[in-house]
Chain A
Amino acid sequence: MSTALVYALCGASLVGVGLYGFITRAHLLRRILAFNIIGSGIFLLLGGAGSRQGAVSPDPVPQAVIITGIVVALSLTALAVALLVRLVEDTGRATLPGEDASRDA
């Protein structure tokens, strides 16, 4: 199994796990975490794309892109958590209306 394939399979599994959480969970903090897991999976895919080229040293562009992507994901997560804190302060609930956190086993 080549390195790129390991990266790709790990990335795809993370995207799958994250997607499951994003869709099935109602608690917003879980959804924000799921977003981060999907993001990590996609970054792994990108990293794998860099090693695919078969050169001696890996392609630097995906690495630069991944670092930028992590910064973007971090800022969005910070905003999401800040919004969630405000939502809990305002309504006392950590879910959107019409959804129920109790089904998150």
Chain B
Amino acid sequence: MTASGLAALPLLELTVVLPLAGLLLALPLGHHGARATLALAPIILLVTALLCIEIMWSGAPIERVAGGWDVPLGIALRADGISGAFLLTTALVACAVAVFQAQGGQDGGATRRSTFWPLFLATWGALNAVFVSGDLFNLYVALELLTLAAVAMVAYGSTEAAMRYLLFALSGSLVFLLGVALIYAGSGTFDIGLLGSAGAGDTAMTVAAAFMTAGLLAKAALFPFHAWLPPAHGNAPTPASALLSALVVKAPFFILVRIWFDIGPETSGVLMQLLGYLGVAAILYGSLLAMRQERLKLVIAYSTVAQLGYLFLVFPLAGAAQDLPWTAGTWSGAIFHALSHALAKAALFLAAGIVIEAVGHDRLQGLAGLARDLPMTVFAFGIAAVSIMGLPPSGAFIGKYLMLTGALAGGHVFLAIVMIGGGLLAAAYLFRPLRLMLLAGETQPAKAIARRRQVVPLLLALAAVGLGIAASLPYALLQIGRSLTATEGIE
């Protein structure tokens, strides 16, 4: 098939339409929704992969307007390299979670309920809609659909955690919407492309962007808005935890990148510094709390708080002055980190889910010696942990390396030290459960877990490492549609 053949297919629209159509289909199917989802998931993965190939082939962002109405009246869908990378990572994680869940044991509890599959597809569809939206209001709607599905999945585990999450999310979305309204009042359009090409904009634009940023921080659980995350992610059922921690919190970050790098409102740099220092606080605070947890899933959830902090370092490193030679590399590094974290974090939560299924709990002290009976799961946990720590050859290592290069080149020595220190802290909190599981101990799994189920987190963890080994292809994909040229890149 040629590039023009691919272009004739409505791939961009299908990435959103297929999950949402599946959601409508799965709703009346109830318990049979698993079969429908399992049939649909590979198709969505294929569509996403083809879309990425089309983006790579054409070397330019793909744009469609819905319903034939042109911008600014109509709604533009737009997929550039970063959209493609996030879409593909989402599809990989979602497929893994679907396979993991569909093979689940009889005791799956909350997630055996007939409502899980519609929520799963709603999450996937909303994520894809965020990644391909070319319009700020559309982003708002997609983000709200995502919140709706995510809060409902958290409610399987704990109503209280879901309520707390919802309150954070509601205030966040209101502040975001206020920013969107201000942008419209100032410029008369919601379209990101039009806003970006209009130039740096005025003070009103910066104020509006600051509002949107504040709203998104609450949803992205950046320190000090992180309080809702650990109970929500730590108590949700396994597949929900994996989706929430790996993907859902990345959507607000993705929108922030769109706002500050694609629209690019004028900024004095102070706001960018502030985001960076909040990121530093998140790395330190999240890591320290992760070390003090007594439950495996809470360790992983606090690790998400810490790792999200890294992503926000991109703003001081590359946000204020976007024309420096290392900016493109630093920016790509942060995206690499986000993608690699998505794969590795999903692997960690699925591995933790296997542990819980096998021994019935996730208290760290009761896990000693588990490696004897669940070698594959503990191995997957270890590989994913390597990726979270950012050791070579994982994708997170490439991400951290690129960000470190940018930090040192730009004279941000303090941020560079925090980045290295954060890796050591990650090692400390992840070695604790690993060491216990590898120790000689008496823990006997109450239940055997099928190997074909244990292999799912292992594949995800290997994918996170593979992202680092075969880094040049995703790196090239990320540059498509960027105005910055990667003068100092991965070489």
Contact = CB atoms under 8 A, between A and B. Distances in A.
B178 interface: yes
Contacts of B155: 83, 86
Contacts of A31: 167
Q: How large is the interface on A (under 10, 10 to 19, 20 to 34, 35 or more residues)?
A: 20 to 34
A96 B160 CA distance: 7
Contacts of A65: 137, 184, 190
Interface string B131-171: 00000010011001001100110010001101110110011
A42 B144 CA distance: 16
18 contacts: A39-B174, A42-B177, A42-B181, A49-B181, A53-B188, A60-B73, A61-B72, A61-B73, A62-B184, A76-B147, A80-B163, A80-B170, A83-B155, A83-B166, A86-B155, A91-B160, A96-B160, A97-B160
Contacts of A86: 155, 159
Contacts of B177: 39, 42, 69
Nearest to A22: B171
B408 interface: no
Interface string B62-76: 000000000011000
A82 B147 CA distance: 15
Contact of B178 (A42, A59, A75): A42
B469 interface: no
B185 interface: yes
B229 to A, nearest CB: 16
Task: Provide the main secondary structure of the chain A interface.
Answer: helix
A29 to B, nearest CB: 12
A83 B181 contact: no
A61 B174 CA distance: 19
Which 4 pairs across A and B sit closest by C-beta, in order of nearness? A49-B185, A46-B181, A72-B144, A87-B159
B184 A46 contact: yes
B181 A76 contact: no
Contacts of A75: 144, 148
A45 B185 contact: yes
Nearest to B178: A42
B115 to A, nearest CB: 12
* B interface bracket (residues with beta carbon within 8 Å of A): 20 to 34
B148 A79 contact: yes
B163 A83 contact: yes
Contact of B184 (A39, A49, A68, A87): A49
A46 B177 CA distance: 10
Contacts of B170: 35, 76, 80
A96 B163 contact: yes
Contacts of B182: 45
Contacts of B174: 35, 38-39, 42
A49 B208 CA distance: 14
B137 A68 contact: yes
Contacts of B171: 22, 35
Interface in B40-74: 72-73
Contacts of A42: 174, 177-178, 181
B285 to A, nearest CB: 20
A7 to B, nearest CB: 10
A48 B52 CA distance: 41
B152 A87 contact: no
Contacts of B72: 61
Given A42-B177, A49-B185, A53-B188, A28 B144 contact: no
A91 B171 CA distance: 24
Contacts of B167: 31, 96
A10 interface: no
A62 B180 CA distance: 11
Contacts of B162: 83
A78 to B, nearest CB: 9
A74 B177 CA distance: 15
A104 interface: no
A79 B152 contact: yes
B148 A83 contact: no
Interface in A1-57: 15, 22, 28, 31, 35, 38-39, 42, 45-46, 48-49, 52-53
Given A35-B170, A83-B166, A87-B160, A76 B184 contact: no
Contacts of A97: 160
Contacts of B151: 79, 83
Nearest to B152: A79
Contact of A72 (B141, B166, B178, B185): B141
Contacts of A62: 184
Given A31-B167, A35-B170, A83-B163, 20 more contacts: A15-B178, A38-B174, A39-B177, A42-B178, A45-B178, A46-B181, A46-B184, A49-B185, A52-B185, A61-B184, A65-B190, A76-B147, A76-B166, A80-B170, A83-B162, A86-B155, A86-B159, A87-B163, A90-B159, A97-B160
